[in-house]
């Protein structure tokens, strides 16, 4: 089985050695450098990568990805697309070979997109950037996706055990994302995924009205049928209204979000935050309890780290404490501490709740 890794990069010499060590289980590594001004190219070459240099003006991620894929030899059985600030845990090649069966077109694996300050995992979802050599192209200027060129049915497998970590370079700005997303929506105005991403980006920039307008457009699109992403649009709209001081409208959208995807923790937790601010303690207990009844973490990017960390238990403990259920509050805060042992506020709360329980 021939397995090749391909990537794009620019000014990433500080990641090159770690990345090459991780990718060494492949039969070859092919990199398109898009204009590095440091020693990325020479370092990758010295470590055994095949590197070509090509700059793109105007810049688009999909054009660069497609050009990097062209570097991969035609005899590849599996192509693996990664970035230099990512790395596989050892043993990924053996797991890939054991799982890949005849007729497989694509494989997904566990991906940790970021890490919390205490080192615990942040966003975790499943990524599917392992694929066959022929019949694929990357599309969209940013948040690019891999699509079949012929529209054929794709047989995808999930490979348990493969883990890819992303340790982002936080010094690099994301200022290019917004204009690229605007370009992407202009090129494909019927693409619901890009519309959602654009609305979310406006939210990140604090452009509340632009975000609301764009996310409402997403929700009205006939193709916007994925409940999880629709729920996320509703939640971002709620956050915008809350930031603008319209709590009532924020709540209305959160109720819609809960109804859209009651199987996700995120809308329940967002509502819990609003109820905490209003000191609606019984409501807070209800929302956190509903969130915590969802025991299986989804494998999509919609899943947020906060919802699966200490916060639901933290809010639950506060709601229980302020409604006089001290023993339950103590148990909840101790569960929160297990998930965030370095958070001193939780330990102080534990003391208060222990004292109330023993009184």
The 10s digit of each residue's pLDDT in 48-93 is 999 999 999 999 999 999 999 999 999 999 999 999 999 999 999 9
Mean pLDDT of the chain: 96
Would you state the pLDDT for residue 74?
97
pLDDT at 171: 75
Helix, strand, or coil here: 178?
A: helix
pLDDT for the residue 92: 98
**How far apart (Å, rounded) are the C-alpha atoms in residues 187 and 185?**
5
Model pLDDT for residues 85-118, shown as the tens digit of each residue? 999 999 999 999 999 999 999 999 999 999 988 8
Tokens standing for 356? Answer: 């109330």
Which residue numbers in the chain have pLDDT < 50?
Answer: none
pLDDT at 190: 96
Query: What pLDDT shows up at residue 146?
Result: 97
Q: Domains in the chain, please, with CATH?
A: 3-166 (3.90.550.10), 173-262 (1.25.40.10), 271-359 (1.25.40.10)
Tell me what pLDDT residue 282 has: 98
Task: Supply the pTM of this predicted model.
Answer: 0.91
Q: Which letter does DSSP use for residue 297 in this model?
A: P
Long-range contacts, 335-339 (Cβ 8 Å, 24+)? 335/310, 336/310, 336/311, 337/310, 339/309, 339/310, 339/313
Handedness of CA 93, 99, 102, 107 (dihedral sign): negative
pLDDT computed for residue 34 by the predictor? 97
The pLDDT, as a whole number, for residue 281 is 98
């Amino acid at each position: 089985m021939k397995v090749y890794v391909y990537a794009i990069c620019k000014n990433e010499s500080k990641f090159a050695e770690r990345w090459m060590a991780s990718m060494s289980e492949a039969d070859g590594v092919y990199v398109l450098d898009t204009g590095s001004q440091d020693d990325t190219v020479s370092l990758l070459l010295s470590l055994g990568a095949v590197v070509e240099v090509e700059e793109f003006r105007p810049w688009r991620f999909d054009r660069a990805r497609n050009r990097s894929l062209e570097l991969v030899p035609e005899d590849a059985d599996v192509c693996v697309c990664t970035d230099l600030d990512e790395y596989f845990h050892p043993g990924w090649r053996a797991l890939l070979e054991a799982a890949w069966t005849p007729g497989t077109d694509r494989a997904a694996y566990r991906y940790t997109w970021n890490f919390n300050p205490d080192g615990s995992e942040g966003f975790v979802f499943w990524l599917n950037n392992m694929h066959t050599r022929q019949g694929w192209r990357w599309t969209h200027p940013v948040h690019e996706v891999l699509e079949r060129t012929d529209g054929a049915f794709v047989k995808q497998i999930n490979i348990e055990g493969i883990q890819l970590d992303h340790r982002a370079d936080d010094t690099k700005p994301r200022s290019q994302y917004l204009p690229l997303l605007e370009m992407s929506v202009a090129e494909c105005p019927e693409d619901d995924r890009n519309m959602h991403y654009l609305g979310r980006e406006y939210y990140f920039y604090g452009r509340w009205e632009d975000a609301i307008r764009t996310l409402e457009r997403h929700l009205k699109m006939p193709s916007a049928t994925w409940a999880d992403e629709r729920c996320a649009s509703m939640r971002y709209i709620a956050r915008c209204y809350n930031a603008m001081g319209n709590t009532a409208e924020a709540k209305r959208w959160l109720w819609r979000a809960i109804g859209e995807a009651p199987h996700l923790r995120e809308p329940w937790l967002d509502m819990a935050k609003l109820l905490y601010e209003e000191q609606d303690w019984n409501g807070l207990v209800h929302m956190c309890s509903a969130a915590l009844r969802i025991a299986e973490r989804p494998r999509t990017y919609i899943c947020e780290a906060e919802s699966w960390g200490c916060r639901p238990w933290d809010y639950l403990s506060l709601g229980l404490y302020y409604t006089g259920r001290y023993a339950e509050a103590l148990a909840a805060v101790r569960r929160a501490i297990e998930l965030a042992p370095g958070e001193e506020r939780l330990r102080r709360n534990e003391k208060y709740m222990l004292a109330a329980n023993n009184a």
